Structure 1
Amino acid sequence: MITYPDSHGRTISELCLLAGKIILQSGGETQRVEDTMTRIAAANGFPKSQCYVTPTGLFFDLGGANPVTRYVRISERSTDLSKVTLVNEVSRKISLGELNAEDALVRLQHIERARVVYPAWLQIASAAVASGCFLIMFKGGWSDFVPAMLAGGIGFALLLLLHRLVQIRFFAEFLSATIIGALAIAFVHTGFGHELDRIIIGSVMPLVPGLLITNAVRDLMAGHLVSGLSKGADALLTASAIGAGIAVMLSAWS
C-alpha cells in the first residue's frame, strides 16, 4: 500500500522540485541542483530525501514514510545565472530558518515567472564588444576591431531571433555562424577588414557554449556520468553547428 505525503510533505516536495527545476533550466550544474534540493528537504524535516537529476528531468523522493517519487520534465534550458543566484539565496534562508516553506514556494514561483535576463539590445551590444576583444586577445590588429564587432553583434542578434522562431538549436547556430562567415568574408573582400581568420574566430566566440562545456566537465568529475555525457554531447553538437556554418561559407568563397 502506497502512503502519499501529507499536505506539508507535498509542499516540501513541490518546493524542492521547483528549486531544482529553476536551477537546471537556468544553466546550473547537476551537483548544485541535487545539493539544493536535499538541503531544502533536510531543513524542513526530511533528512533522507533522494533525488536524481538529468538534463531533461528531475526525480525526487522525500524518503522515510513518504515513498512517492515525483518527476518534473525539463524541456527548455538557457543561461540565466541571475535566477540561479536568487534560488541559492532562498535556499540559504530556508536552511537558516529565516523562511518557511509556504513563503519560499511563493518566492520561487515569482522567480520562475520573472524575466531577469538582460534585455536583447544589451546582450547584442555585449556580444559585439566581446567579439572585438576576443579578436585582440587572439593577436588581431586594432584595424579589425570594428569588423569583428559588427560580425559578432549581427550574428548574435540573428541567433536570438532564430531561437525564438525555430525550436531546432542546431539550425539557429548553423545559420548564425554562416552569416558571421559571410560578413567576415565581405569585410575582407571590400578592404574594411584584413585578417579573415581572426575576425571569424573573434566573432563566433559569443556563440561558443562555454558554460555548457564547463558544466559537462564538472558533472563528469563529480561522478554524474549521464548528465556529463549528455551536456558534453550537446556542447559538441553546438560546436559542430558553428564549425559547419563557417566551413560552408569558406568553401563557397574559395
Structure 2
Amino acid sequence: MAVDQNKIIETCLLAGRIMVEGGSEIYRVEDTMRRIVRKASNNDSQIFATITGVLVTMDADENTRFSQINRRGIDMEKINIVNELSRKFTDGTIDLDQLRQRLKRLDRELPNFPLWLRVLGAGFEGMFLMIIFTQTHAWVDMPLTMLAAATGYLVSDRLGQISRIRFVQEFMGALALGLVGILGVRLGLGHNIDNVLIGAVMPLVPGVPITNALRDLIEGNLLAGIERGFEATLTVFAIACAIGTLLHYV
C-alpha cells in the first residue's frame, strides 16, 4: 500500500509541476492534482501549489511530498496534454501506470515547433499587433517590424537555453529588437520608430502571466497571484529599461 501511495503522489506532483512550468493557473493545477489523487486512492488530499513548487499530502498518509519548480514559461501545449491525460485517467481510459509513464515522456520529450517557425511566428505577431495597437496600416514599417520582432524573440530564446535569469533574456531581446528597429529607420527601411517598437516588443510582453496573475488573485490564490504578478512586472520593467536606454543613447 505504501508503494502505491508513493506512486500516486509522484504522479500527482509530476502533473502539477508540468502544468506550473507551462504557465497554468494555480487553481487549475490544484484541481488536476486533487482529481488524480481522488481517482487513484478514493481519498481526499491537501494540495498547495505556487509558481516555485507544488506540495501534496494524502489524507490516508502522514507524509507530505514537495516538488520544486526551477523553470517556468508559457507552453499551452503542456497544459493541454496534462489536462487531456488527467481526463482520460479519471474516465478510466488509462490507468495510473500509463498516466505516470506518459507524463514522464511529456516532461522529457515535449514536442515543439522548430526554431525557424517560432521566430517567423514571432515576426508575424509583432507585425500584425503593430497594426492593431497603432490603428494604422503603415506598410513601409511592417517588414522592419517583422524583422525586429523576430530578432528580439531569437535573442531571448537563445539566451533562455543558457541562462535561468529570465529578466536578462527579455532585456537583451528588447535591446536587440530596439537596435534593429532604430537602425532600420535611420537607414530608411522604416518610417515611424514608434510603430516599429510598439509592434516588435509584443512577442516579449508577458501578457499571459499578467492575465493568470489576475485570475489567481480573483480565485483567492493570493501568494501565487502576487508572485506571478511581480515576476511579470519585473519582465515589463526589463523590457522598458532596454527600450528606454536605446532611445536615450542611440
Provide the aligned length of Structure 1 versus Structure 2: 248
Q: CA deviation at 1:101?
A: 1.0
3-state SS of 1:67 partner: coil
**1:24 aligns with one of 5, 20, 29:** 20
Alignment partner of 1:53 out of 26, 31, 49: 49
Gaps of 5+ in 2: none
Q: Does the residue aligned with 2:74 lie in a helix, a strand or coil?
A: coil
Structure 1: gaps of 5 or more residues? none
After TM superposition, the runs of 4+ consecutive aligned structure 1 residues lying more than 3 A away are none
Distance 2:228 2:196 in 1: 28
**3-state SS in 2 of match to 1:131:** helix
1:61-72 superposed matches below 5 A? 61-64=57-60, 66-72=61-67
Structure 1, residues 67-99: CA drift from partner, whole Å, max 9, x if none?
210000000112221121111111111111222
Question: TM-score, normalized by length of structure 1?
Answer: 0.94
In the alignment, is residue 191 of structure 1 matched against residue 171 of structure 2? no
* Conserved 8 A contact 1:61-1:67: yes
Query: Is the aligned partner of 1:101 residue 2:88?
Result: no
Q: What CA distance in whole angstroms lies between the structure 2 residues aligned with 1:93 and 1:134?
A: 37
- Cα deviations across residues 115-145 of structure 1 (Å, max 9, x unaligned)? 2222211110000011111111122411110
2:213 aligns with 216
Are 1:225 and 2:222 matched, yes or no? yes
How big is the shift at 1:46? 3.5
- Give the counterpart letter for 1:176 in structure 2: G
- Confirm whether residue 37 of structure 1 aligns to residue 15 of structure 2: no
**Corresponding residue number in structure 1 for 2:178:** 181
1:47 Cα deviation from its structure 2 partner:
3.0
Letter in 2 for 1:242: I
3-state SS of the aligned residue for 2:63? strand
**TM-score, normalised on structure 2?**
0.96
Native 8 Å contact 1:178 1:245 kept in 2: yes
CA root-mean-square deviation: 1.2
Deviation, 1:231, is 0.2
Structure 2 counterpart of 1:135: 130
Distance 1:115 1:106 in 2: 13
1:125 aligns with 2:120: yes
Q: Give the Cα–Cα distance (whole angstroms) in 2 for the partners of residues 16 and 165 of structure 1.
A: 29
Identity %: 37
